[in-house]
Amino acid sequence: MRPERYILSEYADSLLYRDLALAEKDPTNKAILEKLAEQEHGHYLFWKKFAPSYVPQVTNSFLLTFRMMRRLFGLVFTIKFLERHEHAVIEEYKKVVVKLSGQDQSDLEKIIQDEKEHEKFFIGQIRETVITYIGFIALGLADAIVEITGVHAGFLGVTSSTLFAGISGLIVGFSAAISMGSAAYLQAKQDPHRTAWLSAVITGISYILSAILLAIPYFFTHHMGYAFAFSTLVGIVLISFLTFYSVVVFDRRFWKEFLETVALILITALATFLLGVFLGKTFGIHART
């Protein structure tokens, strides 16, 4: 048994939850964070009995990293990310508990139960705007990547003008953002937990920002192949970020969701490219700059 490792882990978690609680303005979320900090501190005190002379040290950079994560990605993501290592911790605790006896064994079994159930229960009670509307963010971003990549692939088969393809992607993106925002508005009106206009704005902004990022490579090169490759790479990076965020927050499997979305992007791109080639040859509209 290596109690020093467990002491440091539980102590660091308790400090972090306390630090997050101090910065939290929402009273409900603040109370939950304080409860989690208290729980982790109790776990720390349990392990401290086995190495009373050990003094854990937590660096400021550790707390600063999670403060920045909280600001950039939200509270739920930060806590879920922190808790991802708990699965391994629980398995280690299970191996240790059989070596203990009496009250120590009962206390560790209680800690294992806390790690498995109570903390996840408390985390599930945290309410955050980004989590409430993440479905609309995903809708705007993912749909834009699939659709705009398809538009660019279609023009790859019709024209060698990167400027024309880039501008066309922006026009289609702006129009589709309005359409998607309207659809999100109507969808959210049926949900009492979401604000319809905010859902529409989030969806539309997510869509148009994605379209802009996908179009940027077309304004920095005159080679359609390079522009399309870089634009597609941007789309895949965006999808990987969104997928990882969803995986952490909702405890999903990364590779399954990521590969499915990338496959959809590439299949759509191939289909629209072939359509562009066919239409270009049929109507003789393959323009060159």
Query: What band does 246 get if pLDDT is binned at 50, 70 and 90?
Result: confident
Burial of 113 (0-12, 13-18, 19+ CB in 10 A): exposed
pTM assigned to the model: 0.79
What rounded mean pLDDT belongs to the chain? Answer: 88
Percent of residues, the chain, with pLDDT higher than 90: 46
3-127 CATH fold = Ferritin (1.20.1260)
Task: Measure the CA dihedral 110/117/252/177, to 10°.
Answer: -140
What pLDDT band is residue 287 in, cutting at 50, 70 and 90? low
Locate all alpha helices (DSSP H) within 24-101, ordered by sequence: 27-48, 60-73, 75-83, 86-97
Least confident range from 81-90, 189-198, 267-276: namely 81-90
What is the arithmetic mean of pLDDT over 168-187? 92
Phi then psi dihedrals of residue 161, to 5 deg? -85, 105
pLDDT of residue 289: 43
With a CB cutoff of 8 Å and minimum separation 6, the contacts of 286 are 158, 159, 160, 280
Confidence of residue 130 (pLDDT cuts 50, 70, 90): confident
User: Are 63 and 16 a contacting pair, CB within 8 Å?
Assistant: yes
pLDDT (0 to 100) of residue 173: 92
pLDDT winner (highest mean) among 4-8, 84-88, 132-136, 211-215: 211-215
Instruction: Read off the pLDDT of residues 6-50 as tens digits, 9 standing for 90 and up.
Output: 999 899 999 999 999 998 988 988 998 999 899 999 999 999 999
Distance separating alpha carbons of residues 238 and 217, to the nearest angstrom:
15
Rounded mean pLDDT, 46-73: 90
User: Cβ–Cβ contacts within 10 Å for residue 23, how many?
Assistant: 12
The 10s digit of each residue's pLDDT in 86-110 is 777 888 888 888 888 899 999 999 8
Per-residue pLDDT, averaged over 138-146, amounts to 88
1 close to 96: Cβ distance less than 8 angstroms: yes
Domain locations in the chain as residue ranges: 3-127, 133-283
SS3 287: strand
Residue 88's pLDDT is what? Answer: 77
* Res. 286 pLDDT band, cuts 50 70 90: low
Query: Is 70 exceeded by the pLDDT of residue 1?
Result: no
